[in-house]
Structure 1
Amino acid sequence: MSEYQYYEFQALDRPLSLDEQEQLRAISTRARITATSFSNTYHWGDLRGDPRRMTERYFDAHLYTANWGTHRLALRLPKGALPLSTVQLYCHGHHVEAWTIRTHLLLDMTSEDESGDWTEEADDQLAALIGVRDELATGDLRPLYLAWLSSLAAWELEDDDEEEYRTALEPPVPAGLGELTAPQHALADFLRVDPDLLTAAAQASPTTLKEPSRRARKDLAPLIAALPGKEKDALLLQLALGPQPRLRTELLHRLHGTTTPAAVPGQRSAAQLLDTAHSLRTERHQHAEHERAATRAQHLSALARNPEPFWQQIATHIATKKTTAYDQAVTLLAELRDAYAHTGHDTDFRQRLARLRQDHQRRPALVQRLDHHDLR
């Protein structure tokens, strides 16, 4: 398998200056660099710059994927948008890390899976994930909990210390884990959050009245009307001065006190969550197996009620005297055997099969296939 690595960075709050673009060009001569982005694909070699430092200095979002199973998403938020102490509650080893620099908070989320789950079409993934940044800036903690869940599943694979699982408590549980937004669904997929583990976690998650992205005009209007006049003037001035990518985030952050989904203190241990997820997974598999069995039974019953078209198809296949047609005839015979057995008419099938074998006993290729599939 050839090597594949994809790096993408996005500048959201302000465009890169020409000088900054030149600095980035010194890192990579082949990268696609614009005033708001940097991207490159590597099939050999690697990025010469440090992605962490590049995100700290230039960019608000960074995505990385590699064909050995690494998925990484790093986000940079204005320092006042989300307290580091809140984010650290959800940090877990190297899978979820957070730190601050002078002006920003950075969040780094990583998922590792060596099973081969990767794609060379990664250039649209960051666009699906970028909305998570605004959600975090407005106080929605669900992306942080999703990252923690991803790290929990990875921890289970890496560590055998059951006592540690029993004593490690989950972080605060945000509202709305059972009703994720589109960016949050994309994040759960990107970080490979186990669906059963997410279902288990959502059992303790309060429901939300309304997702932030769906707030109606009538909900926001009174909140905006209550803002002080000077603050409204300042916001309008920022808008009049030119593009302000952070303006919407800052405004929603200003209003978030009445719209942020609540979180409840985490009460469950990692072991309890993993055990619940295992039970849900087992129940789901059993339910799926029962459904498959019921569907199969319905099919066999219908076939047993009208088997003649199958017998005719079998005769037609055999008449061609082709080995591929013999294979198709044997497949249909095996299906008929199951149908007759399902309805308690095994004797009828064996009698008809005996006549078929007698009629075609001089066709060794067919007889060999019948014997191989125990059609005697």
Structure 2
Amino acid sequence: MSEYQYYEFQALDRPLSSEEQAQLRAISTRARITATRFTNTYEWGDLKGDPRRMTERYFDAHLYVTNWGTHRLMLRLPQQTLSLPTAQPYCLGPHLDAWTTRTHILLDLTSEDEDGDWVEGADDSLAALIGVRDELATGDLRPLYLAWLSALTAREREDDDEDENRTCPEPPVPAGLGDLTAPQRALADFLRVDTDLLAIAAQTGPALPKKPTRPAKKELAPLIAALPQEEKDALLLRLALGAEPGLHTELLHRLRGTTAAPHTAPGRRSAAQLLDAAHTLRTDRRRHAEAERATARARHLTALADQAESVWQQVETHLATRRPSAHDQAVTLLADLRDACADTERHTSFHQRLTRLREANRHRPGLIQRLDRRDLR
């Protein structure tokens, strides 16, 4: 497949009208369009409409995936649930943008990686990610911070100006970065957030507050009673006028706001400090892994040297077959045994026996080539 593009849009707060579905059909004659969803896949050509404008006008979420490395997620929320001033500190163009319409705030989160692995037939859909919209609506800012880390990862990959990173401040750090929800973990994967960068970021974030139990009627009643009479009248009037996008979420957010606020700590580091700390963590982890592999290799070779005769028997068994894979296993065993016997009194004995094995199998060019490639001479 030379080209692959997947577009998905979802309407969550209200269904699309027949007229709106007809307007969308004018944009694409091939798309699957329902009252809540618009999806299309392109192997040539492209979507005629502008995804930003389509999301502004019709939808609450948009996903875009390509086989050349683009991952894009757009979310639309009522302004009552997330303000632009709250989102702006996390914006790091061109990878994270936020803007408002008369009634909504929109977020555009993008990750580009042309060198990333492409898995044809992967499950590309909004299903795993859509939960972050509700989390943002209830004051959880971890999805925004994850998108900021993704933008930071992209800037490092693109070798942006180091001075710019030194002057780029860290936004407010939400609680619970070390304890992400399932949708947030999916978002971190989708936006290719560097795991070491996330680990560094989580070190100074506040702890996640104890999750409150779901309020019962007797708990909600006093919260509702505490709302100003004028505000309650306005909410009831809006409800009586018919289904309004985001009204339920807005009310829950308003009640939540009477008892809790988003948990964040001021960002105290620069982008460069975070990237440097992540690089140090990554380097230390790799060195530790290499040391562990070297230790495990040494243990393996020590055990192999003590079982040399058994190894030779296994080699002979593998070579007695006509299967190339068995010959590969025999050569691997011989290479390991050579390393195990190096710098020991077994070194001479090993090479004498190897010489006899090569002489006995000189009529098997495939095997001799395998031995030569591993420098078993």
TM-score between the two structures when normalised by the length of structure 1? 0.88
Q: 2:340 aligns to what? A: 339
Q: 1:228 aligns to what? A: 224
- Give the 5 Å matches for 1:298-337: 298-320=299-321, 326-337=327-338
The Cα of 1:286 is off from its aligned counterpart by 1.2
Whole-angstrom CA distance in 2 between matches of 1:356 and 1:60: 70
Whole-angstrom CA distance in 2 between matches of 1:260 and 1:341: 66
Cα deviations across residues 220-248 of structure 1 (Å, max 9, x unaligned)?
67752431349699989999999888465
Whole-angstrom CA distance in 2 between matches of 1:118 and 1:358: 47
Q: Secondary structure at the match of 1:227?
A: helix
Kept in 2: contact 1:175–1:262 (CA 8 A): yes
Q: 1:279 aligns to what? A: 280
The Cα of 1:259 is off from its aligned counterpart by 4.2
Assess, with a 3 A threshold, how the Cα gap between structure 1 residues 138 and 298 changes in structure 2: closer, same or farther: same
Q: Secondary structure at the match of 2:90?
A: coil
The Cα of 1:287 is off from its aligned counterpart by 1.7
- Give the 5 Å matches for 1:1-376: 1-121=1-121, 124-210=124-210, 215-217=212-214, 223-229=219-225, 246=246, 249-257=249-257, 258-320=259-321, 326-341=327-342, 345-357=346-358, 359-360=360-361, 366-367=367-368, 369-376=370-377
Q: Which amino acid is 1:228 matched to?
A: I
Whole-angstrom CA distance in 1 between matches of 2:322 and 2:24: 69
Whole-angstrom CA distance in 2 between matches of 1:299 and 1:238: 73
Assess, with a 3 A threshold, how the Cα gap between structure 1 residues 220 and 290 changes in structure 2: closer, same or farther: farther
Kept in 2: contact 1:95–1:109 (CA 8 A): yes
The Cα of 1:200 is off from its aligned counterpart by 1.1
The Cα of 1:344 is off from its aligned counterpart by 6.4
Assess, with a 3 A threshold, how the Cα gap between structure 1 residues 171 and 364 changes in structure 2: closer, same or farther: closer
Q: Secondary structure at the match of 2:8?
A: strand
TM-score between the two structures when normalised by the length of structure 2? 0.88
The Cα of 1:157 is off from its aligned counterpart by 3.1
Q: Which amino acid is 1:314 matched to?
A: V
Q: Secondary structure at the match of 1:89?
A: helix
Cα deviations across residues 151-210 of structure 1 (Å, max 9, x unaligned)?
112122335422221121111111111111111111111111111111111111011023
Assess, with a 3 A threshold, how the Cα gap between structure 1 residues 239 and 293 changes in structure 2: closer, same or farther: farther
Assess, with a 3 A threshold, how the Cα gap between structure 1 residues 161 and 321 changes in structure 2: closer, same or farther: closer
Whole-angstrom CA distance in 1 between matches of 2:374 and 2:124: 49
Structure 1's unaligned 5+ residue stretches are none
Kept in 1: contact 2:65–2:124 (CA 8 A): no
Q: Secondary structure at the match of 1:12?
A: coil
More off after superposition, 300-309 vs 149-158: 300-309
RMSD, aligned CA: 3.0
Whole-angstrom CA distance in 1 between matches of 2:117 and 2:362: 50
Kept in 2: contact 1:300–1:342 (CA 8 A): no
Identity %: 70
The Cα of 1:108 is off from its aligned counterpart by 0.7
Whole-angstrom CA distance in 2 between matches of 1:151 and 1:359: 61
Whole-angstrom CA distance in 2 between matches of 1:336 and 1:267: 54
The Cα of 1:336 is off from its aligned counterpart by 1.5
Aligned residues: 372
Structure 2's unaligned 5+ residue stretches are none
Cα deviations across residues 10-59 of structure 1 (Å, max 9, x unaligned)?
00000111111111111111101111000000011111111111101110
Whole-angstrom CA distance in 1 between matches of 2:245 and 2:122: 24
Q: Which amino acid is 2:353 matched to?
A: R
Q: Which amino acid is 2:156 matched to?
A: E
Assess, with a 3 A threshold, how the Cα gap between structure 1 residues 193 and 342 changes in structure 2: closer, same or farther: farther
Whole-angstrom CA distance in 1 between matches of 2:153 and 2:362: 58
Whole-angstrom CA distance in 2 between matches of 1:110 and 1:139: 22
The Cα of 1:265 is off from its aligned counterpart by 1.2
Kept in 2: contact 1:97–1:107 (CA 8 A): yes
Q: Which amino acid is 2:49 matched to?
A: G
Assess, with a 3 A threshold, how the Cα gap between structure 1 residues 20 and 302 changes in structure 2: closer, same or farther: same
Assess, with a 3 A threshold, how the Cα gap between structure 1 residues 240 and 277 changes in structure 2: closer, same or farther: same
Kept in 2: contact 1:174–1:205 (CA 8 A): yes
Assess, with a 3 A threshold, how the Cα gap between structure 1 residues 352 and 300 changes in structure 2: closer, same or farther: same
Q: Secondary structure at the match of 2:193?
A: coil
The Cα of 1:356 is off from its aligned counterpart by 3.4
